[in-house]
Amino acid sequence: MLRDGGLSRTQLDAQLRAGVLERVRRGVYAATSYVCSAARASVAHGGVPACVTAAEHLGLWVLEPDSAVHVWLTGDGHRYQHDGCTCIEHWDDGARTDAFGLPSVPRILRQVLTCRGVEEFFVVLESALRMGLIDASGVAWLRRHTNDAAREAIDLARADADSGLESLVRWRLRKHRLTVRTQVGIPGVGRVDLLIGDRLILETDGRVNHAGADLRHKDLVRDAHAAMWGYVTLRFDYALVVHDWDLVERAILAHVGAGRHL
């Protein structure tokens, strides 16, 4: 990325015409292949990617991808007009290195907390822990700069969650005070996503093309093996967990109420 210097005006114009560089904002140019559209919109808006946009950029899990770009603007910044703007602004102060420097991961997490709420904060936090993108000092900073709900999420968060769906299910089940273990190995079955009590298996399916006959057959074989060993399996996909939690919760609690998890 170039800020004014580096190229003469003539060189700059030539590269802009050739499509090698593009102007994202007055005085700020980027190599065309380098910038994704979200980063480009953030810079055109006068900031850098923030919140869930920044989290996605880093490969962290987010619950609902957002077509709007979340932009970080600091106190001394300016908002710029640009085409097709649907940006969501996050104003807070903090150091950054250049026009494309993302906020620190703890700061991204705090932005997610205020913008999307504690559930998504928990999901992104577990993802950051899993990927090693936040350390103890980052977690300590978050504790000091968030609220009680976030601190509850920090206390529950682990570094070994396998997917955002699994994190979300654990978070939503916490109030029922069930024993929930993750990635438990079961003979003849393999690793299951979540095990409630000793016998109730929850499988959360984030796979995009799970309708494939082969995969479905494998799931049925797993479930049959699990049943043979005395386990009960409940299987939920992304749409159910995220959009119909009430149904998912009642299904789980019906089994728990009947003692089938013991």
Q: Could you count the other beta carbons within 10 Å of the beta carbon of residue 118? A: 19
Nearer Cβ to Zn ion (15/74):
74
CB of 99 closer than 8 Å to CB of 48: yes
Contact letters for Zn ion, residues 95-124 (x by CB under 5 A): --------------------x---------
Q: Does 87 bind Zn ion (CB under 5 A)?
A: yes
Instruction: Give the residue, chosen from 2, 58, 85, 240, that forms a contact with Zn ion under the rule CB under 5 A.
Output: 85
Nearer Cβ to Zn ion (39/87):
87
- Give the 3-state secondary structure of residue 34: coil
Contact letters for Zn ion, residues 123-152 (x by CB under 5 A): ------------------------------
Give the residue ranges of DSSP H helices in the chain: 9-18, 37-45, 51-57, 105-116, 118-130, 136-145, 148-156, 164-173, 213-228, 238-243, 245-257
Distance CA 248, CA 262 (A): 19
- Determine the length of the chain: 262
Nearest-10 crossing angle of helices 118-130, 164-173:
130
Distance CA 104, CA 69 (A): 17
Q: Give the nearest distance from C-beta 215 to Zn ion in angstroms.
A: 34
Q: Give the nearest distance from C-beta 42 to Zn ion in angstroms.
A: 8
Contact set for Zn ion, span 59-78 (CB under 5 A): 70
| Number of residues forming the site for Zn ion (CB under 5 A) | 6
Nearer Cβ to Zn ion (69/168):
69
Strand order in the sheet with 88-91: 48-49, 70-73, 88-91
CB of 49 closer than 8 Å to CB of 71: yes
Contact set for Zn ion, span 11-30 (CB under 5 A): none
Instruction: Give the residue, chosen from 29, 30, 45, 113, that forms a contact with Zn ion under the rule CB under 5 A.
Output: 45
Nearer Cβ to Zn ion (89/162):
89
Instruction: Give the residue, chosen from 30, 43, 51, 201, that forms a contact with Zn ion under the rule CB under 5 A.
Output: 51
Nearer Cβ to Zn ion (12/85):
85
Distance CA 189, CA 116 (A): 36
Stretch that binds Zn ion, among 45-53, 141-149, 151-159, 237-245 (CB under 5 A): 45-53
Q: Which residues bind Zn ion (CB under 5 A)?
A: 45, 51, 70, 85, 87, 115
